[in-house]
Structure 1
Amino acid sequence: MQKSRAANTVVSAASFGLVVLTPIAASADETDAKQILLNMSDYMTSAQSFEFDYDASLDVVTTDAQVLGIASSGTILVNRPDKIHARRIGGFADLEMFYDGNAFTLVGNHAGLYTQLPVTGTIDGLIDELRGSHGMPLPAADLLIENPYEVLMSDVTDVKDMGVGVISGRMCDHLAFRTPDVDWQIWISQGETPYPCRFVITTHSIDQGPQYRVDIRDWREVEDISAEKFTFQNEGAAEMIALEDYQTKVGDLPGHYQMGDSE
């Protein structure tokens, strides 16, 4: 049987040494890998105000076991401890999030709809509230909390330092980790600003191993941020609806995607 073009591509790549299937040994021990991750965490915590652009891809698995990717791009602005503004634009949705320490607002710009939750506290508290109570994780949330190292290392059973990789022209330390439910990898920029350049989560507990991947670019620390950037101003006269209605009417998936066992 003739191989598909994709299969031939993988075979060709492997023949040139571009695909490594079994990492025999890491370039540094587990202690060094943990220290690299800790340095990134300390830097992220010390950066009180920062902004970056990102490209993300989320895999979905169909009922006939085909893996399909949904791509989006966006921008995240953080002002610790209690302010965040994020925007994510995909082929089917333009979503914007505002948090000013007192209220969280989620806006569907294409749909002309928004919902608002009273949440008082910090970014960490907001992330916990959205994830735990509403099943709504923020993009790259584990990288935005006050102490990324503590959360990322929770339940880790295996640590590997994979050496050096290059992401968007930047030299990065490549680390790989395993937990009972997921494998995750991170590429951390070398030098004085060890921010995460790429973060990949593979859910090996689900058939076909779907991935979530985020590439961070144009990282910048910022100063003198106006508080207005974090508060929703309804200039487009969007309609306010309840959260449960928003989750039904606005989302990242195109209309021809259906959840669960639907065909």
Structure 2
Amino acid sequence: MLSSKKPTKGARVIFAACLLCLGLLCSVPAALAQPQEDAAKSILQAMSDYMSKLKTIELTFDSSIEIITPQLEKIQFNSSGELLLSRPNRLWAHRVSGHADVTMFVDGKTVTVYGKRANGYAQFAFGGTLDQLIASLRAGRGVALPGADLLVADPYAALAAGVLEAKYLGTGIVDGVSCEHLAFRNFDTDWQLWVQAGDQPIPRKLVITSKTMNCAPQHTIHVKSFKGGVKPKAGAFTFVPPAGATQLEPEALIELDELPNQRPQGAKK
């Protein structure tokens, strides 16, 4: 029950002090907003410049994606993978999960996606750059590739497009490595990025949160190991069909999806 007694002078002083403290706390983010934003963008630019200079990249990663059922149950699917990139137009990537074991080969002329469990592969001709391939897979084939913006020729331009707000949140630790923690807001997503501190500002973790769906599902990419300037082995990007492999139609690229074909009824990512 609310009391009808008149507050004492001491109570009014305490209440006023509390309001003052709250006002000061609320004003701090506004005062620091510009330095935070400048720091976040500066670190993102440094990461972009470093990544752009690397002609070859080899990394391993873990990935998770969440879906929301009609009953508002959140379910997470996990996968692991490895990747070898050689600019401007060659790529080898392998991803394995509980429902798929898929490898992509890009040799500069042809894109091949091989599904080990089905022992089948799909191919299509492509002579453009990796940036153009990523755009083509997203626009023409419905493949999201959320972490691919970290690997394009200019990651800053790709990642900063549409950013409404940027924050530098200080340092964080990823796999025992000190990282700069950044947070960004777009119209329909919030995303966080952990960039390794020091003279090798590589991306260590990316978390993308959807703001357009109930329960705010997330997609997380966690870089486990990273090497720049590696020398790819001969034939690393060339696909040789295994014995008995069946060539499929290009529509089979749906296997690039991180979700199982039989997902919980009505679930959306």
Q: Which category describes the TM-score, using the shorter chain as reference length?
A: 0.7 to 0.9
CA, structure 1 residues 68+258, in 2 after alignment: closer, same or farther (shift >3 Å)?
A: closer
Higher helix share: 2
Distance 1:245 1:199 in 2: 28
Letter in 2 for 1:50: I
Any idea what the Cα deviations from partners look like across 1:95-153, whole Å, max 9, x if unmatched?
11111111111111111111011111111011011011001133611101000100111
Give the 5 Å matches for 1:121-132. Answer: 121-132=128-139
The equivalent of 1:207 in structure 2 is: 214
Contact 2:143 2:257 in 1 (8 A): no
RMSD (Å), alpha carbons: 2.1
Q: 1:102 aligns with which of 109, 124, 128?
A: 109
Q: 1:261 offset after TM fit, Å?
A: 7.3
Distance 1:90 1:79 in 2: 25
Contact 1:56 1:215 in 2 (8 A): yes
Q: Does 1:63 align with 2:77?
A: no
CA, structure 1 residues 80+227, in 2 after alignment: closer, same or farther (shift >3 Å)?
A: farther
Aligned pair count reads 239
Distance 1:115 1:160 in 2: 42
The equivalent of 1:253 in structure 2 is: 259
Distance 2:261 2:154 in 1: 37
Q: 1:197 aligns with which of 193, 204, 207?
A: 204
Q: Which runs of 5+ in 2 are unaligned?
A: 1-25
Larger-gyration structure (1/2) = 2
Distance 1:255 1:73 in 2: 18
Give the 5 Å matches for 1:73-222. Answer: 73-138=80-145, 140-222=147-229
CA, structure 1 residues 84+246, in 2 after alignment: closer, same or farther (shift >3 Å)?
A: closer
Q: Does 1:72 align with 2:79?
A: yes
Q: Which runs of 5+ in 1 are unaligned?
A: 1-21
Q: 1:250 offset after TM fit, Å?
A: 7.8
TM-score (normalizing by structure 1): 0.85
TM-score (normalizing by structure 2): 0.83
Letter in 1 for 2:152: I
Letter in 2 for 1:111: A
CA, structure 1 residues 51+139, in 2 after alignment: closer, same or farther (shift >3 Å)?
A: farther
